[in-house]
Each structure stands twice: as C-alpha cells, then as structure tokens.
C-alpha cells in the first residue's frame, strides 16, 4: 500500500518545527488563505496550545516597507486625468471630460502598473512606441479598440489614416513625460499605484534605505510565478543569506 503523501504546507510545518530560530523568522505567503491553512498545520504539530508564527502576505510586506498607500482606482484615475490636463491638455481635446477619459485611463494606468512591476525601462519603452508615427498600416486595430479611440478622441476618424497617425503620435510621444509627472504628483500626496509602490521598495532596499532588521530571517512559502519586482526582492534577501524558500 502506497503511503498517503502529506500536503505541502504540512511538510513545511514539519520542517520548520526543527528550526531553532523560528521565533525570529517572518513567514511570507502569496495570500491570506495560505496563512490560514499553514496555521492549522502548525497547530497540528503540537499536543498543546502554541503561539502562531508571525506571518504576512507578500503584498502586505511590501506595503509595510513603503511610506505610500494605494488608493482605489477611481482616485488614481482622477490624479492621472489632472496630470494630463495640466501638462498636455491638447491630448484630452477641446472639452476635457473625465467620463470620456475613464476607460482609456484604465488602460494607461494598467500599462504603468505593468511597467513598474516588471522593472521595465519606461523611457526606452516609450521612445520605441513613439515610432508609431511612422506606421502606415493600422488594420490591426479591432472594432472595440477603434470604438474606445472614437469615444476618447473627439476628432478621431476611422476613415482618415493620417488622423490616426497624428493622434497616436501625439499620445505616444508624450507618454514618458505623463508617466514621470503622474508619479511625481502621486509622491507629493504619499500615494501610489501598486506597481509604483513595489518598484519604490525595490530601489530603496537596493540603496539600503529600508530598515528591516526586526527579523533575522524571512521564509518565503508557496510562490510560483513571480513578477520582476518580486524576483528582485527575493534575490536581495537570498544574497544577504537572510532568506529560505519552500516551493
């Protein structure tokens, strides 16, 4: 008879029980659900009541190391709208409207978030994208993409290819300045979108600006696919020999 295999978190709890310095350790999980299941496994290791080990999620850990807070999406979109309105009002048209900007703004905010989470060189990226002004074939645009553009750009014409080129070029050529001005605006208010917060923690960790000496060791448990910021964060702790990993 094949013995029943133990669940992953049960195996982790078994192994951690033998660690002498476990009380000076912070356990880091992908989500709160994993923490709940681990706590059950940890309690099962003992025949008497026992204190739970200090645990957190990777998101909460990043937030605890940052001076910024992350507001809801609407608040961020309002800040993005005002950023563009102040530095590049021509992009918003003759009658700027947040309602018309909203859906397009969501896409732009999501792009900024992905750029920071993946540690992309924004200046190089936007410089390359600005070359769209030299593109002559816009047949790759889907009907839904054209509708979004028509909704946002009042002067957008699906029949006039030259107009498309000019509108795209005007937007893309200014994306980097919008990206920088938007982040500067958020910093003055001590708020950030998620990717911006993660990247800021990575940079400050690299420069030794973060005091995380409270814990002797961090144990990362159950992670699978990582963003570039998470990878860089884990690598910092691994290189300083303050990390253990259970995959």
What is the pLDDT, as a whole number, of residue 77? Answer: 98
Task: Check residues 17 and 157 and name the one with the higher pLDDT.
Answer: 17
What is the pLDDT, as a whole number, of residue 141? Answer: 53
Q: What is the rounded average pLDDT of the residues 70-97? A: 91
Q: What is the rounded average pLDDT of the residues 164-189? A: 83
| Token pair recorded at residue 242 | 């303050």
Residue (of 64, 30, 69, 67) closest to 194 by Cα position: 69
- Cα Rg for the chain, rounded, in angstroms? 24
What is the pLDDT, as a whole number, of residue 137? Answer: 52
Per-residue model confidence as pLDDT tens digits over 17-74: 887 677 789 999 999 999 999 998 888 877 665 677 899 999 999 999 999 999 999 9
Q: What is the rounded average pLDDT of the residues 119-134? A: 71
Q: What is the rounded average pLDDT of the residues 61-90? A: 95
As a whole number of angstroms, the distance between CA 9 and CA 42 comes to 9
Of the ranges 17-21, 88-92, 145-149, the best mean pLDDT one: 88-92
Q: What is the rounded average pLDDT of the residues 168-181? A: 84
At residue 152, does pLDDT exceed 50? no
At residue 136, does pLDDT exceed 50? no
Q: How big is the chain, counted in residues?
A: 247
Q: What is the rounded average pLDDT of the residues 130-136? A: 50
Q: Where are the alpha helices (DSSP H) in the chain?
A: 8-17, 32-43, 58-64, 73-87, 98-117, 122-129, 143-152, 161-172, 175-188, 194-206, 228-239
Of the ranges 98-107, 138-147, 151-160, the best mean pLDDT one: 98-107
Beta carbons within 8 Å of 51's beta carbon, 6+ residues apart: none
C-alpha torsion angle, residues 126, 128, 129, 133 (rounded to 10): 130
Mean pLDDT score of the chain: 83
The proportion of the chain whose per-residue pLDDT surpasses 90, expressed as a percent, equals 51
Look at phi and psi of residue 184 and say left if phi exceeds 0, alpha if psi is from -120 to 50, else beta: alpha
- Give 177-184's long-range contacts (Cβ < 8 A, gap of 24+): 177/87, 177/88, 178/80, 178/83, 178/84, 178/87, 178/88, 178/108, 179/112, 179/115, 179/122, 179/126, 181/83, 181/86, 181/87, 182/79, 182/80, 182/83, 182/112
| Token pair recorded at residue 186 | 């958020």
Task: Check residues 193 and 127 and name the one with the higher pLDDT.
Answer: 193
**217 strand-pairing partners:** 25
At residue 247, does pLDDT exceed 90? no
Q: What is the rounded average pLDDT of the residues 216-225? A: 93
At residue 155, does pLDDT exceed 50? no
Least-confidence region, from 9-18, 191-200, 226-235: 9-18
What is the pLDDT, as a whole number, of residue 83? Answer: 96
Q: Do residues 205 and 88 touch, judged by C-beta distance below 8 A?
A: no
The proportion of the chain whose per-residue pLDDT surpasses 70, expressed as a percent, equals 79
Residue (of 206, 146, 221, 134) closest to 172 by Cα position: 134
């Amino acid at each position: 008879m094949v013995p029943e295999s133990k669940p992953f978190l049960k195996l982790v709890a078994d192994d951690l029980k033998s660690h002498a310095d476990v009380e000076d350790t912070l356990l880091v999980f992908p989500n709160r659900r994993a923490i709940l299941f681990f706590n059950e496994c940890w309690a099962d290791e003992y025949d008497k009541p026992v204190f739970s080990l200090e645990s957190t999620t990777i998101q909460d850990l990043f937030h605890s190391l940052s001076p910024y807070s992350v507001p809801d999406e609407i608040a961020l979109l309002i800040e993005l709208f005002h950023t563009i309105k102040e530095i590049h009002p021509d992009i918003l048209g003759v009658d700027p409207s947040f309602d018309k900007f909203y859906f397009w703004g969501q896409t732009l905010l999501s792009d900024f978030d992905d750029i920071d989470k993946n540690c992309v060189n924004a200046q190089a990226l936007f410089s390359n994208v600005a070359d769209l002004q030299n593109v002559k074939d816009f047949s790759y645009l889907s009907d839904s993409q054209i509708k979004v553009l028509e909704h946002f750009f009042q002067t957008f014409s699906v029949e006039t290819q030259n107009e498309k080129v000019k509108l795209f070029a005007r937007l893309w050529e200014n994306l980097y300045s919008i990206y920088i001005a938007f982040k500067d605006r958020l910093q003055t208010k001590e708020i950030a979108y998620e990717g911006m917060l993660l990247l800021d923690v990575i940079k400050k960790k690299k420069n030794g600006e973060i005091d995380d000496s409270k814990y002797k060791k961090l144990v990362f448990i159950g992670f699978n696919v990582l963003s570039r910021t998470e990878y860089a964060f884990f690598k910092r702790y691994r290189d300083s020999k303050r990390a253990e990993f259970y995959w």
